[in-house]
Structure 1
Amino acid sequence: MSNNLELGDLKITLTTIEDEPISAKFELPDGSVVTRPFPETGELTMKLGLGLGLSHVQSGGGSSASAPTNTGLPVISGTPTVGQTLSTTNGTWDDGGAAISGYAYQWKAGGVDISGATASTYELTSDEVGDSITVTVTATNSAGSTPATSDAVGPVEDADPNFSSVVLLAGFNGVDGSTTFDDESNSNHTMTAAGNAQVDTAVVKFGTGSLLCDGTGDWINIADSDDWYLPGEFTMEAWVRPDASTVTTRAICGQWTNLNPNNSFYFYYVWSSSTAKSFRFLMSPDGTAASAVGLTQANTNIDQSVFHHVAVDRDASNVARLYVDGVMVASATITGGANVTGNLRVGDRGSGTAPWLGWIDELRITKGVARYASDGGFTPPTAAFPRQ
C-alpha cells in the first residue's frame, strides 16, 4: 500500500509491504530521489537541506504479525499414578505470521499451579492424589504469547502398595496388529501369542491397545510357574469386552487342561442367549474337575458394546468372591489350590476348548493379597493399574 504526500515541489511516498518495514521515498525538487526505511519503533527525521524537515513517529511494529493462535490443545500422556511421569505435546498452533520462538509449560493439580512444574514432563507425587491434572502450554513469537490448557487426566491415584505381590500385569499396548506382549509385573513372564492374538488400538479401555482374540484358537501362552499356584489369598482381574453371539463358553484366562489331576482354575464368560449371559470362575483345590468349586453370576443382559471390570479374590478366611463392575455377584468358600503343570493361557482356559472372542485389557494377577474382599463391592479402577 502506498500513500503520497506533496508539499510544493516535494513529493513523499510512504510504502507498506506486508511483513516488511515501512519505507519512505523522497523526490526532491532537483529531481533526486532519497529512500529511507522507517524503524519498527521510534522516530525517523530527515533534513532535506531546503530549510524544511520531515519527521515521522512510528509506534508499534511495521509488521502485520500477531501472537500465536492455538488450533489444537496440548495432550497429556502417561498413567496418573504417584511416581509415574506424565508428558505433554505442545499442541498445534498458527504462528500468526512470525515464527514461534518457544514454549513454556505449567502443570496444574486441581486447577492450581504446581510449584516448579515447568517442563514438558512431570513426575506425580503424593501431593496430587485425588486431583485431576492439566498443563498449560504457552507459545511465544515476536508479537506476543498465547496460553492453551490441555484436557484433564486423573484423578491421580496412589502407587500400588501391593505391587510386589503382582505376578502378572499386561496392558496389551503397542502397535496395531502386533503379536508382541509384555508382562509389566516384576515377574516379567514371557508372553507368546498363538493364532491371531494381536494388539488392537481401535478398541481399548486404557492405554493405547487391548488384546483382540477372534474365538478360533487365539490366545497367549505363559509358561508354568509357581506364580500360578494360588493356595491362599489372591486377586485376579481384568477389563473385558466379550463379542459372543451364540451359545458358548469363552475363557479370559486359566490353567485348566481338562486332564485330571492337572486343573487349577479358569475365569470365563458364558453366553446362553441374547439376554442371558454371565461371568464365572472355577477353581479346583486338588487338580480334579470333580472337586472344583464355582462362582457364577446370575444370568443377565450384559452389554457387549462396552468394557466390564471383572474380578475374583479369596480372603484369609477362604471366602472367594466374584465381582462384575464392582458389584459382588457370587461368593463361596474355596480352600487350598492345586499346584499343576501346564501353561497359563490368556484368552483360553488352558485346553484350547474355550477360546476368547472379543477384547481383554489390563489383566492383573496378585498373589497373596485379596484386594477387594467385600460383600459390599468396590468402585472399579478409573485408570490403568499402577506400574509400581
Structure 2
Amino acid sequence: MPLDLPQKPEIWLPSRPAIVRPAVDLTTAEAERKMRLGMLPGITPVIAGRPNVPTKLLMHCEGANGSTSFVDSSFTGIVQTVYGNVQISTAAAKFGSSSILFDGTGDALYSESAVFDLSGPFTMEGFYNIVARSGTFQVPLFDLRPSTGGNGIRLSINTSEQLSFYQNENIRATSGVLTAGIWYHVALTKDASNVYRAFLNGTQFGSNYTDATAYASGACTIGQYPDVRTSPTQVSYQGYMDELRFSKGVARYTSSFTPPTAPFGPYD
C-alpha cells in the first residue's frame, strides 16, 4: 500500500538584481562594441552607417614606396584623381613610414565631393616639408576653388618660400619664410562668424579676415591649381605632404595651439 507522503514544500528565492556596469566604466572600444550590439541596458543597437563626424577627408599618406594609391581613411572615402607622377615616398615622413612626394612638375591630387562645402565652418590642414625651389611661380598647397581664376579660397607657397592665404585672388595673410627639409603644420580655418585664420606650427600668421561669402566649391586640388586637369605639365608643389585632413562644420583652431603630435583619427 503506497504511503501518503506530504508534498515537498516550494522554496521561493528572491531574484537577484542584475549588476549593470555603466558605459563609462568600459574602455572606449568595448563600450562602442556593446552599444552597437545593444548590450547596454536601454541602448538601441546602432545600424551600421556613416558616422556624422567633422573629419571628411583624412589621408595618412601611408603605403609602399612609389605607390600611387592615396587612401582616404575618413568615413567619406573620397577618391583622388592623380596627375603627374605624384607618389608615396618612404624617404620622408612626419608620422608612420611614408608621405606623399610631389616633384614640382604637373603633380597634383584632385577630388570632387559635396563635403568641400565652404558655406560654413571648416578646417583644412596638414604637414608639409618643402624642397627649395629656383622657379618663378607660386603654387598652392591646396586650392578649394572649382576652377583656376575663380572666386574662392586657396593657400599657396610663393617663390620666397612664404605661405600666402588667398581669397578671390587677393592675399589676406602671409607667413614668414619656411626652411626646406623641415616639417611644418599648416592650417586654414573658418569659424561660425565667417572669420578666416591661417596658422603655421600653431601660430596665426596675418590678421583675421572676415568674409561671409558662401563659396561654391565642391572640389579640392592638392599641390596644384584646379586647371591641372587641362594643363598637366605646369609647375606644381615641390616637396612632401603628410597627414592631410579636411574637417567640415568646425574651425578646429581659433587661437595659438600646439601642433598635433600623433596621426589624426577618423572620429576626431
- Give the alignment's TM-score, normalised by structure 2: 0.73
CA distance 1:182–1:175, shift in 2 (3 Å): same
Uncovered stretches (5+) of structure 1, i.e. residues with no partner: 1-81, 85-122, 126-161
| Deviation (angstroms), 1:185 | 1.0
Secondary structure, counterpart of 1:355 in structure 2: strand
| Deviation (angstroms), 1:293 | 6.1
| Deviation (angstroms), 1:329 | 0.9
Residue in 2 aligned with 1:258?
148
| Deviation (angstroms), 1:164 | 0.7
Uncovered stretches (5+) of structure 2, i.e. residues with no partner: 1-26, 33-50, 229-233
Give the whole-Å Cα distance in 1 for the aligned partners of 2:205 and 2:216.
Answer: 27
Residue in 1 aligned with 2:204?
328
Residue in 2 aligned with 1:214?
103
Amino acid at match of 2:102: C
- Select the residue among 159, 162, 169 that pairs with 1:278: 162
Which of structures 1 and 2 has the larger relative contact order (alpha carbons within 8 angstroms, sep 6+)?
2
Give the whole-Å Cα distance in 1 for the aligned partners of 2:55 and 2:121.
Answer: 12
CA distance 1:163–1:280, shift in 2 (3 Å): farther
- Give the alignment's TM-score, normalised by structure 1: 0.51
Mapping 1:341-356, distance limit 5 Å: 343-352=219-228, 355-356=236-237
Whose strand fraction is larger, Structure 1's or Structure 2's?
1
Kept in 2, the 8 Å contact 1:170–1:364? The answer is yes
Identity %: 32
Deviations 1:120-148 (A, max 9, x none): xxx9x9xxxxxxxxxxxxxxxxxxxxxxx
Give the whole-Å Cα distance in 2 for the aligned partners of 1:185 and 1:334.
Answer: 28
Residue in 1 aligned with 2:214?
337
- Alignment partner of 1:232 is 2:141: no
Deviations 1:157-216 (A, max 9, x none): xxxxx9811111111100000001111111111112211100001201001211101010
- Alignment partner of 1:294 is 2:172: yes
Give the whole-Å Cα distance in 1 for the aligned partners of 2:52 and 2:89.
Answer: 26
CA distance 1:83–1:200, shift in 2 (3 Å): farther
Deviations 1:293-315 (A, max 9, x none): 63322x43x22111100011112
Amino acid at match of 1:371: R
Secondary structure, counterpart of 1:266 in structure 2: strand
Amino acid at match of 1:249: Q
Amino acid at match of 2:246: I
- Alignment partner of 1:387 is 2:240: no
- Alignment partner of 1:371 is 2:252: yes
Residue in 2 aligned with 1:148?
none
Kept in 2, the 8 Å contact 1:269–1:278? The answer is yes
CA distance 1:354–1:282, shift in 2 (3 Å): farther
Residue in 1 aligned with 2:180?
304
Give the whole-Å Cα distance in 1 for the aligned partners of 2:266 and 2:249.
Answer: 18
CA distance 1:359–1:370, shift in 2 (3 Å): same
Mapping 1:144-163, distance limit 5 Å: none
CA distance 1:317–1:208, shift in 2 (3 Å): same
Residue in 2 aligned with 1:268?
156
Deviations 1:321-360 (A, max 9, x none): 111011111221122231146x421111312355111001
Residue in 2 aligned with 1:41?
none
Residue in 1 aligned with 2:239?
358
Kept in 2, the 8 Å contact 1:264–1:337? The answer is no
Kept in 1, the 8 Å contact 2:141–2:224? The answer is yes
Secondary structure, counterpart of 2:115 in structure 1: helix
Deviations 1:250-272 (A, max 9, x none): 21111332244xx4322211122
Give the whole-Å Cα distance in 2 for the aligned partners of 1:83 and 1:249.
Answer: 45
Secondary structure, counterpart of 2:159 in structure 1: strand
Give the whole-Å Cα distance in 2 for the aligned partners of 1:253 and 1:163.
Answer: 24
Amino acid at match of 1:295: A
Compute the RMSD of aligned alpha carbons.
2.4
Secondary structure, counterpart of 2:105 in structure 1: coil
Deviations 1:215-270 (A, max 9, x none): 10011121x2221121121111000011132243121111332244xx43222111
Give the aligned length. Answer: 214
CA distance 1:354–1:253, shift in 2 (3 Å): farther
